[in-house]
Structure 1
Amino acid sequence: MAEQKRRFKVVIDNKQYVIIGNASETHIQAVAQLVNNELTQIKSLAATLDDEQAAVLLAINTVSDQLKQQATIEQLEKENKQLKQQLAEQN
Structure 2
Amino acid sequence: MTEDTHRFKAVIAGKTYTIVGQATDEHMRAVTEVLNEQFTQLKQLSPNMSKEDAAILMAFNAVSDQLKMVAAQDDTAATATDETTETED
Quote the offset at 1:87 in angstroms: 2.6
Q: Unaligned regions of 5+ residues in structure 1, if any?
A: none
Quote the offset at 1:3 in angstroms: 5.7
**2-side partners of 1:56 and 1:39: how far apart?**
11
Q: Unaligned regions of 5+ residues in structure 2, if any?
A: none
3-state secondary structure, aligned to 2:47? coil
Q: CA deviation digits over 1:26-75, x for unaligned, max 9?
A: 11110111111111111111111111011111111111111111111111
**2-side partners of 1:69 and 1:22: how far apart?**
22
Alignment map for 1:40-79 (pairs within 5 Å): 40-79=40-79
In the alignment, which residue of structure 1 is the partner of 2:19? 19
TM-score calculated relative to the size of structure 2: 0.90
Alignment map for 1:77-88 (pairs within 5 Å): 77-88=77-88
3-state secondary structure, aligned to 1:4? coil
In the alignment, which residue of structure 2 is the partner of 1:5? 5
**2-side partners of 1:37 and 1:62: how far apart?**
14
**1-side partners of 2:51 and 2:8: how far apart?**
22
TM-score calculated relative to the size of structure 1: 0.88
3-state secondary structure, aligned to 1:9? strand
Aligned residues: 88
Q: CA RMSD in A?
A: 1.4
